[in-house]
Chain A
C-alpha cells in the first residue's frame, strides 16, 4: 500500500472514523504535560513527548495475572485461574518513534527463545500503532546514536508525518494497512509530499546534537566495564528512587505479589526497579547488590551492555531523554555512557 495523505483539518474525523473499529488513544494536554488517553476528537500534534512513556498500554503499572478463591473450604480453593483477556482492538495514535522502537526491543525481552509473556503479547497483538515523526526533536534526545531516530519506523504500523497543512500516512505493516483502509477517505500521497517528508527527516536528524558513542562499550568485555572505576562517582548522588526506571520506555522489570482480601485472592504483577535494595535481596538476608553503587552500575550495564549482548545488538535505550529530564538529582545517562566509553 502506498503512502497516503490527509488534510490536517480532517485528522479529527480520521480518528473518529477509526473509533468505529478501534478504541483510539492519543496524546492529550493535561496541565503542563502530555499524557496518552482516549482520543475524544481533539488531536494534539504540536508536542514533544509524554512525561511517562506509553509502555503502560502493554505493561500496566499493576496487572492482575491470576485470581483464586481464598476460601479453604471451596472445591477450587487456591487454584490459580486466568482471566479471559477480552481485549478490544486498540489504536494508539501519535506516539513517537523512540517509544515504538522501545516496544520492538521489549518484544525480544518479553518473548525470548523459550518463553512468551502472554500478557505483553496479547496486548501487542490487539494494538495498532500510528506514530508521529518528530519534526522538532527535544534538546535531550539522542535517539540517532542508539539505533533509533526521529523518523524511525521500527515498531510502528503506520508512520505519520506532519507536513504543515497535510499529514502523510505511511503504512508499514499489514496491521497499519488495515487501519488506513478502515478509516477510508484517504488520498494517495504524491511525489511532492514524499519529498517534503524526506526533507523534514533530514532536517530533524541533523538537528539532534546530543549523542552517545558506544564503540568502546561494544568492544570491551563485561568485566572491563563492570570493574571500571567511575561507578562510585556516578552513583554518589543517586537517590535509588526509581524514577528513571519508571519513566523509561525500555525498563521492563516487575515484581509478582499475591494479595488476598477476604475470600478473593489475586496474583498481581507491579512495576519494580533495580534501584530498590529489595530487588535482589535473598530470603537469607544476603544481597548480591547491597549498595547503591552496585545497583546504579547494574542499570547502565543492563541497558548498554547486557541487552545488546543478548538481543543481537539492540540497545536497551532509545534516547528519549526522559530520565535526563526527570532524575531528581540530574544524573545524565549521556554522561554515564561517555564515562563507560572513555
Chain B
C-alpha cells in the first residue's frame, strides 16, 4: 500500500515576488526524483499540499499547466505559519509536494463550447493553469471562443502580468485585465470584475463559466451571470476550506456530505445550491 501522506521531495528552482506588497510569491518547484514527476500527472483545477517539514502543509492550487514540463508552479499568499515559513525559503531549498489532489475543471465536458473565465485577486492561479492548457496547440481546437476577465485591486496586485500581456496579443482568446479604481501607472481597463463582465457580455448559449475569486466578487458576479443567461449547471466554481489530509479522511473540509479536498474543490453552482454554505 502506498502511503498517501508521504510527499514527493522537490527543490525550489525559482522564486518570483508577484505583488507590490510582497505577500504573494510564485515558487517554481522541480522534482528531486525524475520518476516522481511522471507519477504526478495532473489536470488544471487540481491542487497539491505543499509540505514544509517542521511547519506543516498547505493546500495550494497548481498554477502551472501540465503542458509545461519539468516543473510545477505555485503562487502562495503569506497568511499563517506555513506560508510565512515558505516565504522565508530560498532557491535551492528542499520541501515536499503531495498530490495531485482534488477533482479538476470539467475540461472534457467543456469541449465544443465557449469558455468564459472570471477571476479575481489571487484566485486566478488555477485559471492560469487552465488557460495555458487550453491555448496549447494540442487543445485549442477543442474549444470555442475563450473569454478571460481578471481583476485585482491595484496594478501592483495583478498576478502573471507578463503572461497576460502575451494573451492580450493573441487572437484566439479575448483577454480583459482590469483594476478596481483609476491608477497613475495603469492605462488599461478600470472597473470591478462583475461590471467588466456585464460590459463584455459574453453570450451564454453553449458556454461554460469558470468563476474563481474572493467571496465578495463571487457574490456580485453571480447575478450578472444569471442575467446573461448562464444556467447554474454551466457555472463552475472552485472552493477553499481548511484542510489537513487532503484526501477525504480527516473530516474537516466537508461542505455537507462533500469533501472539498476530494469531491471538490471544483463544483458547479447547481451542486452548491443543494449544499450548506459552510465554506
Chain B residues in 8 Å Cβ range of A121: 1
Query: Closest Cβ of chain A: how far from B160's Cβ, in Å?
Result: 22
Query: Closest Cβ of chain B: how far from A220's Cβ, in Å?
Result: 12
Chain B residues in 8 Å Cβ range of A294: 278
22 A-B contacts (beta carbon < 8 Å):
A78-B52, A78-B54, A80-B51, A114-B247, A114-B262, A115-B249, A117-B4, A118-B3, A118-B4, A222-B256, A222-B274, A223-B276, A253-B252, A254-B245, A256-B250, A258-B56, A274-B252, A279-B252, A280-B241, A282-B241, A283-B58, A288-B255
Chain B residues in 8 Å Cβ range of A274: 251-252
Selected contact of A115 from candidates B4, B244, B276, CB within 8 Å: B4
Q: Considering the complex, give the chain B residue whose CB is closest to the CB of A109.
A: B249
Query: Closest Cβ of chain B: how far from A14's Cβ, in Å?
Result: 33
Judged by a CB distance under 8 angstroms, whether B9 is at the interface is yes
Assembly CA distance A82 to B6 (angstroms): 8
Chain A residues in 8 Å Cβ range of B69: none
Chain A residues in 8 Å Cβ range of B240: 282
User: Is the pair A77, B94 in contact by a Cβ cutoff of 8 Å?
Assistant: yes
Judged by a CB distance under 8 angstroms, whether A265 is at the interface is yes
Chain A residues in 8 Å Cβ range of B9: 79
Chain B residues in 8 Å Cβ range of A68: 53-54
Judged by a CB distance under 8 angstroms, whether B220 is at the interface is no
Q: Considering the complex, give the chain A residue whose CB is closest to the CB of B250.
A: A254
> Hey, which bits of chain B sit against chain A, CB under 8 A?
1-7, 9, 51-58, 79-80, 83, 94-96, 240-242, 244-245, 247-257, 262, 274-279
User: Is the pair B252, A284 in contact by a Cβ cutoff of 8 Å?
Assistant: no
Assembly CA distance A226 to B273 (angstroms): 13
> Hey, which bits of chain A sit against chain B, CB under 8 A?
65-66, 68, 70, 77-80, 82, 109-110, 112, 114-118, 121-122, 221-223, 226, 252-258, 260, 265, 267, 272, 274, 279-284, 288-289, 294, 298, 301-302, 305-307, 309-310
Query: Closest Cβ of chain A: how far from B108's Cβ, in Å?
Result: 18
Selected contact of A82 from candidates B3, B57, B278, CB within 8 Å: B3
Assembly CA distance A267 to B53 (angstroms): 8
Query: Closest Cβ of chain A: how far from B89's Cβ, in Å?
Result: 10
Q: Considering the complex, give the chain B residue whose CB is closest to the CB of A307.
A: B257
Do A116 and B1 form a contact, CB below 8 Å, given A109-B249, A256-B250? Answer: yes
Question: Which of A77, A116, A221, A256 has the most CB atoms of chain B within a 10 A radius of its CB?
Answer: A256
User: Is the pair A306, B254 in contact by a Cβ cutoff of 8 Å?
Assistant: yes
Q: Considering the complex, give the chain A residue whose CB is closest to the CB of B78.
A: A283
Assembly CA distance A280 to B245 (angstroms): 13
User: Is the pair B247, A226 in contact by a Cβ cutoff of 8 Å?
Assistant: no
Chain B residues in 8 Å Cβ range of A283: 58, 79-80, 83, 242
Query: Closest Cβ of chain A: how far from B124's Cβ, in Å?
Result: 17
Assembly CA distance A255 to B54 (angstroms): 15
Which 3 A-B residue pairings sit nearest by Cβ, starting from the closest?
A253-B251, A306-B257, A283-B79
Q: Considering the complex, give the chain A residue whose CB is closest to the CB of B9.
A: A79
Assembly CA distance A117 to B245 (angstroms): 10
With A258-B52, A258-B56, A272-B250 already in contact, 14 other A-B pairs whose C-beta atoms are closer than 8 Å: A66-B5, A79-B96, A109-B249, A112-B247, A114-B248, A118-B1, A118-B2, A222-B276, A256-B244, A258-B55, A267-B5, A272-B251, A280-B253, A288-B279
Chain B residues in 8 Å Cβ range of A116: 1-2, 4
Chain B residues in 8 Å Cβ range of A70: 53-54
Chain B residues in 8 Å Cβ range of A253: 250-252
Selected contact of B242 from candidates A115, A252, A280, CB within 8 Å: A280
Assembly CA distance A68 to B278 (angstroms): 35
Selected contact of A221 from candidates B253, B262, B274, CB within 8 Å: B274
User: Is the pair A272, B252 in contact by a Cβ cutoff of 8 Å?
Assistant: yes
Chain B residues in 8 Å Cβ range of A221: 274
Chain A residues in 8 Å Cβ range of B1: 116, 118, 121-122
